[in-house]
């Protein structure tokens, strides 16, 4: 796999520890400013107005139709990720970006302690898409938004992160983000950003000779033709059969 243990990649300069720490301290000033700006943006986000949405909008879950209000599971807030779905396609051809982002949201207990529910609203039909969830080994609440997409998205497209607030039996949308805004879901990117070679994607500002193998076109999330995370599931013996004919 490209970038895996490449011995020919360029190296940073080698200096003594005091010199290294001095430059790291300079960077730390910028990092702290970046953190404070993030805090200020979050504070502004908390002061946004909100828009009311229909709480009776119906999704499909494991027990059939369920309203948006019921998806809250009694909690005050809801975060929903709108997972893209390629209709009639096999698991190998499902959205690599949504697989990357949605698959890294695993431990929900900390959200629950803040009165927040997390759920996936998938573009595809419930039966096929939940097979994909189970193949991937995800245990987040999963619903099909296939028939309610127009009402929920209001002209937007899947690949979206949306925050909702419940007040009694009323539901409001308070925030949404997409594209790089979804990176908050992916600690892998945050960890890679701390490494010397970064994400190894060609758009990054890196020194000459640094490994940069992937374009920002979806290929960065795939290995040998599949979303990268699927390979370990296949190796574990899980079936990627989605229960419909494969159309290519």
Q: What is the CATH number of the domain that holds 154?
A: 3.40.30.10
What pLDDT does residue 3 have?
A: 46
| pLDDT tier at 138, thresholds 50, 70, 90 | very high
Mean pLDDT score, 155-182: 97
Token pair, residue 44, equals 């502004």
CA count, 13 A, side-chain hemisphere, 177: 10
Contacts of 207 (CB under 8 A, 6+ apart): 10, 12
Percentage of the chain surpassing pLDDT 70? 95
What pLDDT does residue 244 have?
A: 66
What pLDDT does residue 9 have?
A: 84
Q: Which domain holds residue 81?
A: 51-182
- Spatial distance between the Cα atoms of 149 and 240, rounded to a whole number of angstroms: 25
The pTM of the full predicted model, rounded to 2 decimals, is: 0.92
Percentage of the chain surpassing pLDDT 90? 93
- pLDDT at residue 37 tops 90: yes
- pLDDT at residue 53 tops 80: yes
What pLDDT does residue 157 have?
A: 96
How many domains does the chain divide into?
A: 1
In a domain, 80, yes or no: yes
Residue 216 sits at φ, ψ, to 5 deg, of: -90, 60
In a domain, 172, yes or no: yes
In a domain, 219, yes or no: no
Q: In what order do the strands lie in the sheet with 170-178?
A: 51-53, 170-178, 160-167, 77-83, 116-122, 142-144, 58-61, 64-67
User: Which helix or strand (DSSP H or E) is residue 53 part of?
Assistant: strand 51-53
What pLDDT does residue 38 have?
A: 97
């Amino acid at each position: 796999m490209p970038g895996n243990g490449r011995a020919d990649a360029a190296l940073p300069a080698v200096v003594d520890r005091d010199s290294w720490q001095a430059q790291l301290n300079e960077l730390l000033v910028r990092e702290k400013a970046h953190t404070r700006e993030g805090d200020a943006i979050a504070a502004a986000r908390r002061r946004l107005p909100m828009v009311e949405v229909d709480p009776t909008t119906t999704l499909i879950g494991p027990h059939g139709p369920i309203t948006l209000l019921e998806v809250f599971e009694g909690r005050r807030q809801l975060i929903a990720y709108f997972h893209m779905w390629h209709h009639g396609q096999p698991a190998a051809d499902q959205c690599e970006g949504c697989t990357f982002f949605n698959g890294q949201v695993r431990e929900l207990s900390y959200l629950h302690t803040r009165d927040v529910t997390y759920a996936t609203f998938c573009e595809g039909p419930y039966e096929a898409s939940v097979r994909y969830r189970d193949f991937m080994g995800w245990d987040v609440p999963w619903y099909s938004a296939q028939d309610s997409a127009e009402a929920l998205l209001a002209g937007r497209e899947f690949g979206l992160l949306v925050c909702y607030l419940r007040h009694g039996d009323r539901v409001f949308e308070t925030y949404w983000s997409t594209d790089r805004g979804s990176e908050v879901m992916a600690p892998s990117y945050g960890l890679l950003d701390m490494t010397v070679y970064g994400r190894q994607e060609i758009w990054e500002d890196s020194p000459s000779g640094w490994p940069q193998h992937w374009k920002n076109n979806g290929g960065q999330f795939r290995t040998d033709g599949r979303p990268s995370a699927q390979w370990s599931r296949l190796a574990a013996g899980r079936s990627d059969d989605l229960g419909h004919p494969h159309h290519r």
